[in-house]
Amino acid sequence: MKTTGKLFSNESAIELPINIVVMLVVGMVALAALIAIIPPPTKNMSVNVDQAGLASGTLSPGNTILVDSTLVSAGSFPVTVQISAKDPDGYPVRGANVVLRGLGGAATGVTDDSGMCTLQADTAAGGAPISLGANQNEGAMDLKITASGFYDYEKTNAVMIVRTS
């Protein structure tokens, strides 16, 4: 009985629960601070090639550009491609860097406030024109888009160039 009386009359035994509560509160504050500095998660973006065509002609829906053989035999030719980028909720992705390259040419651009970007693979527009080889009837161009807060989007064979007779 004397040992039980000593335990209840000992005031240092109250320190253990208080220490546990203090450590729990300090741990929760540290965890909250850690969670606050974690950057927001990145999201996927959906990208569509809306229209494509020769720079001198009208654009047609889709990602295929038909080029006449006489134009191909003349060497390089300029193309124009219009793309749109949206987030998973359907809102436009603004300020994304867009690069279209392949077939000896390239074009770069930045999406506007509506998530649209028109790329021109033409020396007059700051890009490089496209060319098909003498025995090459078709070719493809790759598309890469980077934007803050989103995973990089890469699509091989995003735009097809087809020679017609």
For 64-89, how does the pLDDT look when each residue is reduced to its tens digit (9 = 90+)?
988 888 776 667 788 899 999 999 99
Alpha-carbon distance 94 to 150, whole Å?
A: 11
The DSSP symbol for 125 reads G
Average pLDDT over residues 6-13: 62
Q: Which two tokens stand for residue 134?
A: 């003498």
For residue 79, which of 110, 35, 28, 124 has the smallest C-alpha distance? 124
Alpha-carbon distance 105 to 122, whole Å?
A: 8
pLDDT above 80: residue 7: no
Average pLDDT over residues 10-29: 80
Per cent of the chain over pLDDT 90 is 46
pLDDT above 90: residue 43: no
pTM of the entire predicted model:
0.71
Residue 61 is predicted with a pLDDT of 93
Q: Which residue has the higher pLDDT, 124 or 132?
A: 132
Q: Kindly report, residue by residue over 46-65, the tens digit of the pLDDT.
A: 999 999 998 777 889 999 98
Q: Identify the band that residue 5 occupies on the pLDDT scale cut at 50, 70 and 90.
A: low
The mean pLDDT of the chain is 85
Determine the number of helices (DSSP H) and then strands (DSSP E) in the chain.
3, 9
